[in-house]
Amino acid sequence: MDSAGQWTGGRFTVRQENRLKADRYRVSELLPDGSEGEVLARADVKHFSLKKKITFHAGASGARVLFTIEERGLRGDGEGYDVWDAEGDLVGGFEEKAVSSLLRSTWVLDQPGLPAAVGRERNRFVAVLRRVWDFLPLDVVPFLWPYHFDFEMGDKQVLKVDRKWGVRDCYVVDILVPGADPRLAVAQAVALDTFQDR
């Protein structure tokens, strides 16, 4: 895939698989009947890695680089993360708003040519419950309750990321506007799972 062209649909699943040395993310198209189509991309995130960089490769075999998520400090100044395509061109970026996220996680998603989208946890009660859970001595018990993020440009919803029930993390990514790059949307979903202080 030289661009996002192969990703023709607007719905995807992002599944995390726990492995011995790394977590693996698999991205598949979500078909109209609710089943998962072919694997479009995968990425491995090494445990205890200090460098916040994730590279996604094409298909289940992972033979070709599709895009990369990098912490902004790796290439320059600023906070947040940028998404780069295989040729090194900027796809877009996102950052978590620390103050707003104290009670309800808030992210800003920015794609060149489109207004910035602000994403917040949909359910305020679940947001507070997740924070309380972090203070309990339950490190071995994962937070299983599903949580969801809605991204809006003004009053218009442009992206939804819904976490599903289960021990393993699985997200459904819904792109609701034309022109939004699916690589950036998938990268944001992975960031909600990997980079977010929750």
Amino acid at 119: G
pTM of the model: 0.82
**Contact predicate 7/166, CB 8 Å:** no
Predicted pLDDT of residue 198: 44
Mean pLDDT of 100-119: 87
| Greater pLDDT, 147 or 28 | 28
The residue-averaged pLDDT of 108-134 equals: 79
**84-97 per-position pLDDT tens digit:** 999 999 999 999 88
Does an H or E element contain 125, and which? helix 124-135
pLDDT at 166: 66
Tell me how far apart the alpha carbons of residues 185 and 190 are, in angstroms, rounded to a whole number.
9
Percent of the chain residues topping a pLDDT of 90: 43
| pLDDT tens digit sequence for 135-181 | 666 555 555 556 788 999 988 999 999 988 766 778 999 999 988 99
Q: In this structure, what DSSP letter does residue 72 have? A: G
Name residue 175's beta-bridge partners.
Answer: 159
Question: Structural domains in the chain?
Answer: 11-194 (3.20.90)
pLDDT at residue 184 tops 60: yes
What average pLDDT does the chain have?
Answer: 81
Q: What is the pLDDT of residue 110?
A: 96
Provide, rounded to the nearest whole percent, the portion of the chain with pLDDT above 70: 75
Per-residue model confidence (pLDDT) at position 95: 93
DSSP bridge pairs for 90: 84
pLDDT at 26: 93
pLDDT at 131 exceeding the cut of 90: no
- Mean pLDDT of all residues in 104-129: 84
> Is the pLDDT at 20 greater than 90, yes or no?
no
For the chain, the helix, strand and coil percentages under 3-state DSSP, each to the nearest 5: 15, 40, 40
Query: Are the C-beta atoms of 142 and 151 separated by less than 8 Å?
Result: no
The pLDDT of residue 65 is 93
More confident residue, 176 or 72: 176
